[in-house]
């Protein structure tokens, strides 16, 4: 029997001690993702796939849909009095909504937006934190996340959620409702697939070079088995594939990203994905420790991200401890 998100959340509140208001925050985010799925589906007809002509605080060119997605999130989050703050990739500063709610949402409203022009899967990523609205602390380590998830806008729209224990996946149905499609998702411990932008090889550190060259050597190298490489360039799409069938995603610190601290953002890209991967039995490391234990220093802080199947993440960690 199909189970709508609303019923699933009601059961989590009744049976698993999930806060009713937190479940409401997730419903609000789900409503934003459902609206965004509809907008993305028709964007090429509406002529919305181009550049917006602005750059965001990270110096990246904003697509028109980056801006539209951000506006959709703001519109929905404003309606929920329990959400007092939004941190978004597309906003320079944290946005204080006009209420005194005890929750903050950090989000990447549209991840992988360079793939929009070519109709390849993009996503939204989000993390929920508890805050004191009087003196909100947004710089909390990922272990403090109350819940996290992402929507993947692909052939179907998936909504993956975790409270930090189990991972579940909902699919958007023909009525615009998210319906449970997978329960208790676990990422296979072993895998033969890795995801990294190999065009950056000349910038890599020794550990990354060693890991990739071992994989490329396949059954003739120390890994003792053959690997395939997949890189979509949408973190959500790459992570969703890895969550479903195993693998590893690497955006390590390299010589070109050292000044910035990495490529991907800690609060709304790395932390939510790390919470999901660990809850599914996988790993999430910077190469020098758990992503979830990193103390953020700024809302748009960047960080190296290595997440996925446990055995693969452990192999990378071992190479980093060799490198020192
Ligand atoms: P965003 O579109 O939110 O800026 O994020 C893009 C990210 C991530 O989705 C992807 O894994 C990575 O950038 C791709 O980086 P490269 O362009 O270096 O491959
Ligand atoms: Mn992103
Ligand atoms: Mn984005």
pLDDT tens digits, one per residue of 115-158? 998 999 999 999 999 999 889 999 999 999 999 999 999 999 99
| Predicted TM-score of the model (pTM) | 0.97
- What is the distance between the alpha carbons of residues 84 and 93, in angstroms, rounded to a whole number? 14
The ligand 1 atom at the shortest distance from the C-alpha of residue 251 is: 11
Average pLDDT, the chain: 96
Q: Indicate left, alpha or beta for 246 from its phi (over 0: left) and psi (-120 to 50: alpha).
A: left
Binned at pLDDT 50, 70 and 90, residue 2 comes out as confident
Percent of the chain with pLDDT over 70: 100
Q: What is the CATH number of domain 193-323?
A: 3.40.190.80
- What is the distance between the alpha carbons of residues 31 and 10, in angstroms, rounded to a whole number? 16
The ligand 1 atom at the shortest distance from the C-alpha of residue 232 is: 11
In order of 1, 157, 170, 235, 240, the CA distances from 176 in angstroms are 18, 10, 12, 24, 21
Q: Could you state, in order of their start, the residue ranges of all structural domains in the chain?
A: 5-182, 193-323
How long, in residues, is the chain? 324
Residue 262, token pair as written in the block:
């990495």
The ligand 1 atom at the shortest distance from the C-alpha of residue 113 is: 2
Please tell me the predicted confidence (pLDDT) of residue 1: 61
- What is the distance between the alpha carbons of residues 27 and 253, in angstroms, rounded to a whole number? 35
User: Which numbered ligand comes closest to the C-alpha of 115?
Assistant: 1
Minimal-distance CA residue to ligand 1 atom 18: 197
pLDDT tens digit string along 249-283?
999 999 999 999 999 999 999 999 999 999 999 99
Minimal-distance CA residue to ligand 1 atom 6: 112
pLDDT tens digit string along 210-226?
999 999 999 999 999 99
CATH topology of domain 5-182: Fructose-1,6-Bisphosphatase; Chain A, domain 1 (3.30.540)
pLDDT tens digit string along 51-106?
777 788 888 877 899 999 999 999 999 999 999 999 999 999 999 998 889 999 99
- What is the distance between the alpha carbons of residues 191 and 220, in angstroms, rounded to a whole number? 17
For residue 258, the CA-to-ligand 3 centroid distance in Å is 21
In order of 119, 220, 226, the CA distances from 318 in angstroms are 38, 20, 20
Residues less than 5 Å from ion ligand 2, measured at CB: 108, 111
Dmax (CA) of the chain: 61
Tell me whether strands 103-111 and 83-88 are parallel, antiparallel or unpaired.
parallel
- What is the distance between the alpha carbons of residues 175 and 276, in angstroms, rounded to a whole number? 27
Best residue among 107, 114, 270 to mutate for probing ligand 1's pocket (most ligand atoms within 8 Å of CB) is 114
- What is the distance between the alpha carbons of residues 35 and 319, in angstroms, rounded to a whole number? 43
CB under 6 Å to ligand 1: residues? Answer: 60, 89, 108, 111-113, 197, 233-235
Supply φ then ψ for residue 196, to 5 degrees: -155, 150
C-alpha torsion 82→28→307→305, nearest 10:
-60
Please tell me the predicted confidence (pLDDT) of residue 191: 94
Binned at pLDDT 50, 70 and 90, residue 5 comes out as very high
């Amino acid at each position: 029997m199909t189970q709508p998100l609303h019923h699933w959340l009601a059961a989590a509140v009744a049976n698993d001690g999930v806060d009713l208001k937190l479940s409401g925050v997730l419903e609000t985010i789900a409503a934003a993702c459902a609206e965004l799925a509809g907008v993305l589906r028709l964007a090429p007809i509406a002529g919305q796939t181009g550049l917006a002509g602005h750059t965001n605080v990270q110096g990246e060119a904003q697509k028109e849909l980056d801006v539209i997605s951000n506006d959709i999130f703001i519109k929905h989050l404003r309606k929920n009095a329990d959400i007092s703050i939004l941190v978004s990739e597309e906003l320079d500063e944290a946005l204080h909504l006009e209420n005194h709610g005890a929750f903050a949402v950090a989000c990447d409203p549209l991840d992988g937006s360079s793939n929009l022009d070519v109709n390849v899967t993009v996503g939204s990523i989000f993390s929920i934190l508890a805050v004191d609205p009087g003196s909100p602390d947004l710089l909390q380590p990922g272990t403090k996340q109350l819940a996290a998830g992402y929507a993947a806008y692909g052939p179907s729209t998936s909504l993956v959620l975790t409270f930090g224990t189990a991972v579940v996946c909902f699919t958007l149905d023909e009525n615009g409702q998210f319906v449970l499609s997978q329960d208790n998702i676990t990422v296979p411990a072993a895998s033969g697939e890795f995801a990294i932008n190999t065009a950056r090889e000349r910038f890599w550190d020794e550990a990354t070079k060693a890991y990739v060259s071992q994989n490329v050597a396949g059954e003739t190298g120390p890994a003792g088995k053959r690997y395939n490489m997949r890189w979509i360039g949408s973190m959500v799409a790459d992570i969703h594939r890895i969550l479903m069938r195993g693998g590893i995603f690497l955006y390590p610190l390299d010589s070109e990203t050292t000044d910035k601290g990495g490529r991907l953002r800690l609060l709304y890209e790395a932390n939510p994905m790390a919470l999901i991967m660990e809850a599914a039995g996988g790993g999430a490391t910077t190469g020098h420790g758990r992503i979830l234990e990193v103390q953020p220093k700024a809302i748009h802080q960047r960080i190296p991200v290595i997440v996925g199947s446990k055995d693969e993440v452990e192999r990378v960690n071992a190479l980093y401890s060799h490198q020192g």
